[in-house]
Each structure stands twice: as C-alpha cells, then as structure tokens.
C-alpha cells in the first residue's frame, strides 16, 4: 500500500497542467500557462521566498520599519545620541571635580597637588589618581571634628570675646543713598538712607530685639542688642516684622522702609549704631 501511494504522488508531480485566462465578455483566450506539478511547486516556493525577501528589504532599508511597534524612530535615535553626549560631558565634569577635590585634600595634608591639565590630556582618567581620596576624606573629617571641638562655645571662650567692632562683618540694613551723613556736632549722630518705600530693612548683626514700638515723631522704631556692647536702631519704618524679645541673625528682615513719624519727610531709614554707649559712624563699617 505504501509503494502504491508513493507512486501516485510521483505521477501527480509529473502530470502536466495548463492555466488559462479568458475574457469574461468574449471568452477570448488571453494567457495560457503550462507546467507540470514539480515546476508548479518550485514556482510557489520561489514566490514565497521572493515575497519574504521583499518584506525584509522593505523593513530594513525603508522608513516602513519605524511603523513596527517598539522600533526607535529617527527622533528617538537622535535623542539617544544627544543623551550619550551629555552623559559623557557630565562624566568628564565629575572627573574634573574629583580631581579638584583631591587637590584640595592633598594641599591640606601637605602633599603636592596633581597637575589637572596634564591629567585631562590623557585619553582616560586613571582610577589610581583617586586612590588616596578615601584616606584624605577621613583625615579631612578628623580635621573638621577638631575644629568643631575648638570652636564649641564654653565659659572660657565667653570671657575672651573680642571687645571691638573693627573686623566685624556688618550686613547693610538697606541698600540706598545716604541723604544725610553722620555728624554729631550738629546733633545728627546717625545716617539717613533714602530707599524705595516698603524695601526690606535687615538686621546688621546677630542679636536680640530689645525694643519695638511706635513713636509720633520717629514712627515705627526697632532696637537690637548685639554682642560686643553694640546696639543698632532703625526708625521711620512703615511696618515692624520682629517683636521685642525675638532673636535675629545678620541679614534677617526686621522691618519695611517707610515715612512714618512727624520728623520724616520722605521714605528713608534712620539708622543709628552705638558702641559702649557712644554713637559711631555706620558708614565707617558698612557699605550702603
């Protein structure tokens, strides 16, 4: 039975076929294709292979491939390249920072710094250049802890505070123009600073608000007690932000520039600075 079936298949492949095309209206024969079964199978296989090859060519060499889900578009590829360039630039910047940090640590520990320019000219950064970073960082932490212990306030340090104002860093209470300078001989032991109304008035030094009130002649007034026997006074404010008893730091907003009080004729700040009970010229220590 198996031999008979095999013979029938062989006869079928060798049998000849004819495929004809006729006109539907006139029944005229237009085309005739003659072949045996083996040629027909070969043509079918060749057509499938050709179709697959055509699909592959279209996918790999034409923009049709971008229609495939998950395939990156031209814009996506450009973004990938740009991100790679940015990442490389950031890595180079981080390497430069690491070198600078390593140089600072080497200088602090008394060693010669690394020549950054010569290192940057190398094709790659060597990890051995940063091998000492961890050790230097530990030494730096120990140095910081020593400085913190030495700077910790205690009773002995409080007794040795600097009793002078030279060298102190005063924060400008307001940025403006001095319209009337310090002149104690004509009963003007302070400065008047013209500034836009509602400009922020800041504490010139760290201290405690010892007085905050309103006066008919000088308007809203605030007094701050500082270390080293210093007192600063701010008058003619439009509004007070801090109250009596509050502690402030240098540069902390305490009031707004105004034109309050009978003695004021325009928006300005009346600023006084007292040292050990005597008025001093603020312009000698502050750049308004």
Domain ranges (residues) in the chain = 7-60, 72-137, 177-284
What 3-state DSSP class applies to 130? helix
> What is d(CA 242, CA 221) in angstroms, rounded to the nearest whole number?
11
Domain 177-284 belongs to what architecture? Answer: Distorted Sandwich (2.70)
pLDDT at 149: 62
pLDDT at 28: 82
Distances (CA, A) of 8 to 15, 36, 266: 10, 14, 120
Mean per-residue pLDDT pooled into runs of 10, the chain (288 residues): 48 69 80 76 87 85 73 77 86 78 73 62 50 54 61 43 68 94 92 95 96 95 94 96 94 96 94 94 90
Q: Phi first, then psi: what are they for 210, rounded to 5°?
A: -100, -15
Q: What DSSP state is assigned to residue 96?
A: H
Element housing 214 (H / E):
strand 207-215
Residue 123's DSSP bridge partners are: none
pLDDT at 218: 95
pLDDT at 139: 56
pTM over 0.85: no
pLDDT at 140: 58
pLDDT at 23: 81
Q: Find the Cα–Cα–Cα–Cα dihedral 71, 77, 81, 82, rounded to 10°.
A: -130
For the chain, how many residues are written?
288
What 3-state DSSP class applies to 111? coil
């Amino acid at each position: 039975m198996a031999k008979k079936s095999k013979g029938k298949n062989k006869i079928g492949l060798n049998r000849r076929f004819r495929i004809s095309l006729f006109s539907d209206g006139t029944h005229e024969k237009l085309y005739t294709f003659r072949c045996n079964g083996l040629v027909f199978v070969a043509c079918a296989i060749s057509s499938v292979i050709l179709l697959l090859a055509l699909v592959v060519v279209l996918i790999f060499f034409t923009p049709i491939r971008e229609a495939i889900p998950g395939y990156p578009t031209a814009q996506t590829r450009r973004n990938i390249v740009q991100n790679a360039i940015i990442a490389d630039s950031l890595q180079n910047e981080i390497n430069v920072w690491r070198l600078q940090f390593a140089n600072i640590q080497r200088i602090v520990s008394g060693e010669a710094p690394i020549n950054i320019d010569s290192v940057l000219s190398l094709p790659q950064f060597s990890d051995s250049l940063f091998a000492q970073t961890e050790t230097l960082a530990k030494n730096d932490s120990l140095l910081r802890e020593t400085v913190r212990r030495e700077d910790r306030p205690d009773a002995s340090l409080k007794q040795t505070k600097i009793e002078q104002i030279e060298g102190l860093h005063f924060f400008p209470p307001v940025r403006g123009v001095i319209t009337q300078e310090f002149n104690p001989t004509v009963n003007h032991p302070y400065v008047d600073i013209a500034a836009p109304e509602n400009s922020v008035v800041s504490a010139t030094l760290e201290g405690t608000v010892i007085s905050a009130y309103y006066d008919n002649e000088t308007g809203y007034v605030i007094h701050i007690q500082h270390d080293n026997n210093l007192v600063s006074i701010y008058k003619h404010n439009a509004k007070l932000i801090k109250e009596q008893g509050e502690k402030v730091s240098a540069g902390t907003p305490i009031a707004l520039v105004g034109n309050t009080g009978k003695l004021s004729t325009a928006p300005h700040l009346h600023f006084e600075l007292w040292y050990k009970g005597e008025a001093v010229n603020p312009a000698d220590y502050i750049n308004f």
